Amino acid sequence: MEQLIIYLVRALVDQPDQVSLRASEADGARLYELKVAPEDVGKVIGRDGRTVGALRTLLGAAAQKHGQKVRLEIQDDRRQQGAPTSSPEGQ
């Protein structure tokens, strides 16, 4: 399953060497956390989330064939770097 994800995502992005995947167990399913270069996040997500939706559909079908459940999440470092922090003091 990991090889399928990496193969598909590397074909989509401009910097395939920066594609990394981490797998773990969460809520009875296999959780895959995908990380790509910040400028490639939009390519993986796609317009209105269509590309990542298609990836999730393919993974779901492949996992179901093997009797598994999977989840795919995209790690977006752009949000973490520039995200404003909220504090209860300002409320």
Token pair for 68: 């598994």
Residue 80: the pLDDT is 57
Residue 85: the pLDDT is 44
Token pair for 33: 């956390």
Residue 91: the pLDDT is 45
Instruction: Name 72's bridge partners.
Output: 32
- pLDDT tens, the chain, 91 aa long: 899 999 999 999 999 999 999 999 988 899 999 999 999 999 999 999 999 999 999 999 999 999 999 999 999 876 655 544 444 444 4
Assign domain 17-78 to a CATH class.
alpha beta
CB atoms within 10 A of CB 84: 5
Terminal Cα-to-Cα distance of the chain (whole angstroms): 46
* pTM attached to this predicted model: 0.78
